[in-house]
């Protein structure tokens, strides 16, 4: 089944995405306009992305001492993506956007992630510009965001530093007011920045006229010390090349220097950089002497209020994390489709009949073997289930932005609880799908002659960036399930129970409904037991097994809801694809959901085997 038909089913027959058009914001849209966006994205992904996925893996970005060199195909992909209008898909018509629901935007972007996850980095620019639309001044929106939406400029997110990855409170990049008139700059209060930012994706290249870095940094206090903790973090726009209020390049380079490229396991189409801000390599003299009297210090313009940097960044976090989840799903899906094709055509072995194997008979394609079917069904259940969850969350984002006040509030809280799952679950299990895709290929899967090893390498990133697995797990058990007195958890429980109650009425789903109800009860009990002593060290000692069990239960719920939509189809639609969907749901219930028992046991026992292990005993 193609990605497009899976999306059509999930969006239109399960999530009723067409009903979004009844909202004033989306009233100009129809199923036809949504489909037109999908067709454009599918075509560009097929023509400009997929054929070059291997090329961008083998022709890694390199630095010639002056510029970052990327393959020509990357330029073509970038241009086609910008011309498609997807950079500003969600923006207002009056700002040149398409005013698309996020659900449709996320689904449309999945075509690109599946064709070549790393050739384009457009979603970084979109995230950067969307943030400026939410928190920037009118001038910042006009000069920076609008030029990112048009594709003239591109954007980055500069959070991490060599010594501050998961622990952003330790950010040490320093921003000091730039001259007496610093507060009067029309582009925003002007600062000089000094520090190092590590792992910055799309941090240097020649794909666009300019690169707009969004940088987290701290403003020193009167004692010239940096404030401790995350509350002291502010956000700055730091363009690679300085611009005037008309958005034109002034001809002066900002003091942002490429210190080096990171050579990665996968995702090689996107350049990844260590950037030095303010070391004096490109002195800026137009605004005065800078940090050393000779122009050192990267010029940065404050976004929002001092100390509100993380709050501004986190405004976009749900969408960024759903985006990571979708990328993980699409890599899993790409591996699934490759291994399915392979399994249908690779002859190997013979079935066992009552008299054993008959060596005179031709070999069968490996898809005839039960274990290969198991590996294919596992991949299908991970990837289609995770895609459904991602779209469900995307639909909640639209509800949060355009629903009634009550519905919007409910969507906000549900997203708080579900986003760690939407990001982390596909990162772990669609990566496992990639591993199974290699296994289906046997030895051939372990070579570079087939695409599946690259999908695995590309996907390995997703458990690391946008909050590591461990950090997401602590966010879920340490914060999200507790917040607002557990109201988010209660809302989710209500939705799970509603699905189970409906499924209870459908004979072929009754057993799944009972299994889901029991699983949710186990999760609830383990949540309470984890916090029984009230001590975070006890509760969070097994946060990752909790995340895994919680995620598997959420996926079981999503699969049951999708199965309900499938059984509601009329008889003329009951074709092989729906049988496959029901079987993937059954696989999840029979082979996956029972795993939660072991994961939750250590959580409920507040098992300290790992937490208490002395470091010197390893
Ligand atoms: C390819 C790539 C692209 C990236 N792109 C960007 C980008 O564009 N912009 C950007 O700002 N960053 C980017 N990152 C950085 C990424 O977000 C960080 O790598 C990530 O946040 C982890 O930080 P770290 O690498 O310093 O690991 P660390 O924080 O040192 O973590 C190492 C390990 O320790 C665990 N750990 C850390 N703290 C705790 C704790 N308190 N409790 C339990 N376990 C803990 C982690 O879970 C992890 O397993 C990128 C990274 C990569 C690899």
For 343-383, write each residue's pLDDT tens digit: 999 999 998 888 888 889 999 999 999 999 999 999 999 99
267 lines ligand 1 (CB under 6 A): yes
Closest CA to 439 of 538, 367, 514, 339: 339
Dihedral of alpha carbons 82, 86, 89, 93, sign: positive
- The whole-number average pLDDT for the span 211-231 is 95
Q: Which helix (H) or strand (E) holds 261?
A: strand 256-261
135 lines ligand 1 (CB under 6 A): no
Distance from C-alpha of 41 to C-alpha of 36, rounded to nearest angstrom: 9
Dihedral of alpha carbons 369, 370, 376, 379, sign: negative
- The whole-number average pLDDT for the span 314-320 is 82
Distance from C-alpha of 334 to C-alpha of 337, rounded to nearest angstrom: 5
| Integer CA distances (angstroms), 471 to 389, 426, 467, 538, in order | 20, 16, 6, 16
| Integer CA distances (angstroms), 133 to 88, 142, 245, 443, in order | 11, 9, 17, 50
Distance from C-alpha of 476 to C-alpha of 456, rounded to nearest angstrom: 26
121 lines ligand 1 (CB under 6 A): no
547 lines ligand 1 (CB under 6 A): no
Burial 34-47 (b: 16+ CB within 10 A, else e): beebbebbbebbee
Distance from C-alpha of 414 to C-alpha of 480, rounded to nearest angstrom: 9
Give residue 469 CA to ligand 1 midpoint distance, Å: 10
Q: Which atom of ligand 1 is nearest to the CA of 467?
A: 21
471 lines ligand 1 (CB under 6 A): yes
- What tokens does 104 get? 């449709």
Which residues have a catalytic role annotated?
466
Distance from C-alpha of 310 to C-alpha of 324, rounded to nearest angstrom: 19
pLDDT above 80 for 573: no
- What tokens does 123 get? 């979603």
Confidence of residue 319 (pLDDT cuts 50, 70, 90): confident
Cα 237 → chain centroid: 23
Q: Which atom of ligand 1 is nearest to the CA of 216?
A: 11
Closest CA to 104 of 216, 21, 167: 21
Left if phi > 0, otherwise alpha if psi is -120 to 50, otherwise beta: which for 506?
beta
Q: Which atom of ligand 1 is nearest to the CA of 262?
A: 1
Which position has the token pair 């007011």? 177
Q: Which range (316-320, 440-444, 486-490) has the least confidence? A: 316-320
Alpha helices in 478-595 (DSSP H): 483-504, 510-530, 536-539, 543-567, 576-587
- What tokens does 342 get? 């392979």
Give residue 467 CA to ligand 1 midpoint distance, Å: 6
Query: What's the mean per-residue pLDDT of the chain?
Result: 96
Closest CA to 139 of 284, 255, 243: 243
Tell me, what's the pLDDT at 278?
A: 98
pLDDT above 90 for 326: yes
Give Rg (Cα) of the chain: 25
Distance from C-alpha of 602 to C-alpha of 606, rounded to nearest angstrom: 6
Is residue 330 within 8 A of residue 384, CB to CB? The reply is no
pLDDT above 80 for 572: no
* Cα within 13 Å of Cα(197), Cβ side: 28
Single pTM value for the model: 0.97
Q: Which atom of ligand 1 is nearest to the CA of 156?
A: 8
Tell me, what's the pLDDT at 256?
A: 98
Nearest CA to ligand 1 atom 4: 199
pLDDT above 90 for 108: yes
610 lines ligand 1 (CB under 6 A): no
Is residue 548 within 8 A of residue 472, CB to CB? The reply is no
Task: Classify residue 353 by its DSSP letter.
Answer: B
């Amino acid at each position: 089944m193609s990605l497009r038909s899976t999306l059509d089913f999930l969006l239109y027959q399960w999530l009723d995405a067409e009903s979004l058009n009844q909202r004033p914001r989306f009233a100009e849209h129809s199923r036809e306009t949504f489909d037109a966006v999908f067709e454009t994205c599918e075509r560009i992904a097929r023509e400009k992305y997929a054929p070059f996925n291997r090329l961008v893996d083998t022709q890694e970005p390199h630095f010639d001492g002056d510029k970052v060199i990327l393959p020509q195909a990357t330029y073509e992909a970038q241009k086609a993506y910008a011309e498609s209008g997807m950079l500003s898909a969600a923006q207002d018509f009056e700002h040149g956007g398409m005013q698309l629901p996020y659900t449709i935007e996320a689904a449309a972007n999945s075509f690109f992630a599946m064709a070549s996850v790393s050739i384009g980095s457009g979603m970084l620019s979109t995230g950067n510009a969307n943030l400026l639309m939410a928190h920037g001044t009118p001038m910042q929106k006009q000069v920076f965001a609008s030029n990112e939406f048009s594709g003239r400029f591109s954007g980055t997110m500069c959070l991490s530093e060599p010594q501050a990855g998961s622990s952003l409170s330790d950010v040490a990049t320093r921003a000091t007011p730039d001259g007496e008139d610093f507060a009067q700059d029309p582009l925003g209060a002007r600062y000089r920045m000094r520090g190092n930012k590590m792992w910055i994706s799309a941090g240097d290249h020649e794909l666009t006229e300019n690169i707009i870095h969004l940088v987290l940094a701290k403003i020193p206090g009167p004692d010239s010390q940096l404030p401790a903790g995350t509350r002291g973090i502010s956000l700055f726009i730091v363009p690679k090349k300085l611009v005037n209020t008309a958005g034109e390049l002034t001809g002066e380079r900002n003091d942002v220097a490429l210190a080096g490229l990171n050579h990665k396991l996968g995702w090689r189409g996107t350049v990844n950089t260590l950037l030095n801000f303010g070391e004096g390599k490109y002195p800026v003299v137009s605004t005065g002497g800078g940090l050393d009297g000779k122009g050192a210090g990267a010029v940065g313009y404050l976004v929002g209020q001092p100390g509100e940097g993380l709050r501004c960044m986190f405004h976009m976090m749900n969408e960024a994390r759903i985006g990571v989840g979708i990328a993980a799903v699409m890599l899993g899906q790409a591996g699934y489709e490759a291994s399915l094709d392979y399994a249908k055509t690779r002859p190997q072995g013979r079935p066992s009949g009552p008299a054993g194997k008959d060596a005179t008979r031709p070999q069968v394609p490996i898809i005839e073997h039960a274990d290969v079917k198991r590996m294919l069904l596992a991949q299908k259940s991970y990837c289609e289930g995770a895609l459904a969850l991602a779209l469900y969350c995307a639909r909640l984002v639209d509800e949060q932005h355009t629903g009634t006040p009550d519905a919007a509030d409910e969507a906000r809280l549900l997203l708080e609880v579900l986003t760690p799952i939407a990001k982390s679950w596909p990162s772990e299990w669609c990566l496992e799908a990639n591993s199974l895709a290699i296994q289906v290929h046997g030895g051939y899967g372990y070579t570079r002659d087939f695409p599946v090893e690259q999908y695995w390498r590309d996907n390995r990133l997703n458990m690391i960036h946008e909050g590591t697995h461990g950090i997401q797990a602590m966010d879920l058990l340490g914060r999200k399930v507790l917040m607002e007195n557990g109201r988010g958890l209660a809302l989710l429980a209500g939705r799970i129970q509603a699905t189970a109650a409906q499924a209870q009425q459908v004979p072929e789903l009754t057993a799944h409904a009972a299994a889901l109800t029991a699983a949710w009860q186990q999760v609830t009990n383990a949540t309470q037991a984890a916090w029984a002593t009230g001590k975070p060290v006890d509760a969070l000692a097994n946060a990752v097994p909790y995340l895994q069990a919680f995620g598997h239960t959420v996926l079981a719920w999503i699969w049951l809801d999708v199965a309900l939509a499938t059984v509601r189809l009329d008889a003329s639609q009951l074709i092989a694809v729906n049988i496959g969907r029901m079987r993937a749901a059954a696989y999840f219930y029979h082979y996956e959901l029972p795993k939660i028992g072991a994961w939750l046991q250590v959580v409920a026992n507040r098992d300290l085997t790992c937490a208490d292990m002395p470091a010197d005993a390893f």
